[in-house]
Amino acid sequence: MDARRRGRPRLRGSPPLVRDDGRGVPALRLRASRGGTHLGTFRAVARKFPHKAPRDILTDLLAATPGEEGKWFAAATEAGLYDEALDLARRTPCDPRTLTRAARDLAEARPAFAVGAGLLALQWLVQGYGYEITGADVWTAYSTTMKAAEANGNTAEIRERIRELVAGEKAGPFVARIPGRELGL
């Protein structure tokens, strides 16, 4: 076996998963590690490179996919990088349902994170993001955020932030209509 390839994992017929960038620093080969989703890609790369820290893997993946930061939210959350996950979801659009699920799943264990994820879900909904969004999606985002706020002890503050957020909806009152009665709109 060629000394340059010894010990490097390979997929059948594909180029090496790690290449040298000229400075002796391994760089991920994203094309060979693609999963069906951004989370799937993160998991695939993490399996192939168990010696790399999740934060480093995420940093490499972000560098390889500029403009898609919000799509890495679930990967950052799964890796326990909660502050980074919220920052990613703020930078570029993130699926509101993904944000709502994260808020629901972590409302008790990490209420501050859950409130942040819920507020971002509502923000992206107000801005018109999401595929085939229904009133149930809006209500779930709202109620999940409020449950997390209750667990975090800042219900009144979060209700007011949501009120301001949905009141500023420009594309029409779809999102504001759903929790409107609760918010006094």
> What pTM was estimated for this model as a whole?
0.79
Say what the pLDDT of residue 94 is.
93
Report the C-alpha gap between 80 and 110 in whole angstroms: 11
Q: Which pLDDT value is given to residue 14?
A: 37
Structure tokens at 148: 């997390």
Grouping H, G, I as helix, E, B as strand and the rest as coil, residue 36 is coil
pLDDT of residue 54: 93
The reported pLDDT for the residue numbered 130 is 87
pLDDT (tens, 9 = 90+) of the chain, 185 residues, equals: 444 444 444 434 334 344 444 433 344 555 555 667 889 889 988 888 888 899 999 998 888 888 889 999 999 999 999 999 999 999 999 999 999 999 999 999 999 999 999 999 999 999 988 889 899 999 999 999 999 999 999 999 999 999 999 888 776 678 888 887 777 65
Question: Which pLDDT score is estimated for 6?
Answer: 47
Strand intervals (E) in 3-115: 18-20, 26-28
Exposure string for 57-90, b = 16+ CB within 10 A, e = fewer: bbebbbeeeeebbbbbbbbbbebebbebbbebbb
Nearest C-alpha neighbor of 117 from the set 155, 85, 147, 162: 85
Range list of β-strands (E), 14-150: 18-20, 26-28
What is the rounded distance in angstroms from the CA atom of residue 83 to the CA atom of residue 104?
17
Distance CA 58, CA 60 (A): 5
